[in-house]
Amino acid sequence: MKALVLGAGIVGITTAYELLQDGHEVTVIDREAEPAAFTSYSNAGLFAPGHAYAWSSPAAPGILLKSLWRGDQALRFRFNADPRFWSWMLKFWGQCTAERAALNTTRKVKLCNYSLGVFHETVRRTGVAFDGRTGGLLYLYRSEAALRAASAKSRILSDNGCRIETLDRDGMAAKDPALGPVKDKFAGALYAPDDESGDCRLFARNMGGWLKDQGVSFKFNTTVTGLETAFSSVYTDVVMPGDIPLSLLVEKLTSGCGLLGLPVPRIGAGEPANLVLVDLQGTWTVGEEGYASRSGNCCFDGRELHGRILLTVAAGAVVHRTHTPNEVAA
Ligand X SMILES: Cc1cc2nc3c(=O)[nH]c(=O)nc-3n(C[C@H](O)[C@H](O)[C@H](O)COP(=O)(O)OP(=O)(O)OC[C@H]3O[C@@H](n4cnc5c(N)ncnc54)[C@H](O)[C@@H]3O)c2cc1C
Residues that bind ligand X (CB under 6 A): 7-12, 29-32, 37-40, 43-46, 223-224
CA–CA separation, 257 vs 139, rounded Å?
Answer: 42
Residue 111 or 145 having the CB closest to ligand X:
111
Question: Sheet harboring 137-141: ordered strands across?
Answer: 137-141, 188-192, 165-168
Residue 125 or 219 having the CB closest to ligand X:
219
Nearest-approach distance from CB 197 to ligand X, in angstroms: 8
Residue 131 near residue 201, CB atoms below 8 Å: no
- Give the residue closest to ligand X by C-beta: 9
CA–CA separation, 180 vs 296, rounded Å?
Answer: 53
Nearest-approach distance from CB 325 to ligand X, in angstroms: 29
Nearest-approach distance from CB 224 to ligand X, in angstroms: 4
Nearest-approach distance from CB 298 to ligand X, in angstroms: 10
Nearest-approach distance from CB 50 to ligand X, in angstroms: 12
Residue 199 near residue 47, CB atoms below 8 Å: no
Residue 48 or 167 having the CB closest to ligand X:
48
CA–CA separation, 219 vs 28, rounded Å?
Answer: 6
Closest CA to 312 of 245, 225, 231: 231
Residue 116 or 156 having the CB closest to ligand X:
116
Residue 38 or 95 having the CB closest to ligand X:
38
Task: Find the helix or strand (DSSP H, E) in which 158 lies.
Answer: helix 155-158
Q: Residue 266: beta bridge partners?
A: none
CA–CA separation, 15 vs 302, rounded Å?
Answer: 34
CB atoms closer than 10 angstroms to residue 46: 15
Residue 183 or 201 having the CB closest to ligand X:
201
Task: Find the helix or strand (DSSP H, E) in which 63 lies.
Answer: helix 60-66
Nearest-approach distance from CB 220 to ligand X, in angstroms: 9
Residue 222 or 274 having the CB closest to ligand X:
222
CA–CA separation, 53 vs 74, rounded Å?
Answer: 13
Residue 141 near residue 187, CB atoms below 8 Å: yes
Residue 137 or 239 having the CB closest to ligand X:
137
For 92, residues 6+ apart whose C-beta sits below 8 A from its C-beta are 56, 60
Nearest-approach distance from CB 211 to ligand X, in angstroms: 14
Nearest-approach distance from CB 222 to ligand X, in angstroms: 6
Task: Find the helix or strand (DSSP H, E) in which 190 lies.
Answer: strand 188-192
